[in-house]
Amino acid sequence: MFCPECKSLMISSGGQLKCRKCGYIRKITDDDQLQIKRKRSEKEIVIVEDEETVRTLPTIAVKCPKCEHNLAFWWLRQLRSADESEVRFFRCCECGHTWREYD
């Protein structure tokens, strides 16, 4: 909850909400309970489906975990929050197996 006087964040102490900045105090009511306003929904990750798009991707010398071929297409996707590193995806040029690597 935020203080109605100075708009600072209030802390809970002994059944009351107290403002550290200006000293405003009020009792905790039923309306002050934690409420979830919106649920976050996970988006489906689209890797790369179009074969024409795959053929234009860069290749790298990496061993396929499925067929052990040494050449794969690769691309990057930001799947997690922006302050975390991207995820590298690989698709084997021989068998088409797709896997990912994290930093």
How far out from the chain centre does Cα 84 lie? Answer: 8
User: 25-27 and 16-19 as β-strands: parallel, antiparallel, unpaired?
Assistant: antiparallel
pLDDT of 60 reads: 93
CA-to-CA distance for 78 and 84, rounded, in angstroms? 8
Topology of the domain covering 1-33: Ubiquitin Ligase Nedd4; Chain: W; (2.20.70)
Mean pLDDT of 69-80: 88
pLDDT of 68 reads: 92
Per-residue pLDDT of 17-63, as tens digits, reads 899 889 899 888 877 766 666 665 555 555 655 666 667 789 999 99
pLDDT of 11 reads: 87
- Residue among 87, 88, 84, 83 at smallest CA distance from 73: 88
Strand order in the sheet with 10-13: 10-13, 16-19, 25-27
Topology of the domain covering 51-101: N-terminal domain of TfIIb (2.20.25)
CA-to-CA distance for 67 and 56, rounded, in angstroms? 22
Three-state SS at 72: strand
Q: Which of 30, 50, 52, 83 is an active site residue?
A: 83
Active site residue 84: yes
Q: Which of 5, 84, 94, 101 is an active site residue?
A: 84
Of the chain, the end-to-end C-alpha distance in Å amounts to 38
Active site residue 31: no
Highest mean pLDDT among 10-19, 45-54, 89-98: 89-98
- Ranges for all domains in the chain classified under CATH 2.20.25.10: 51-101
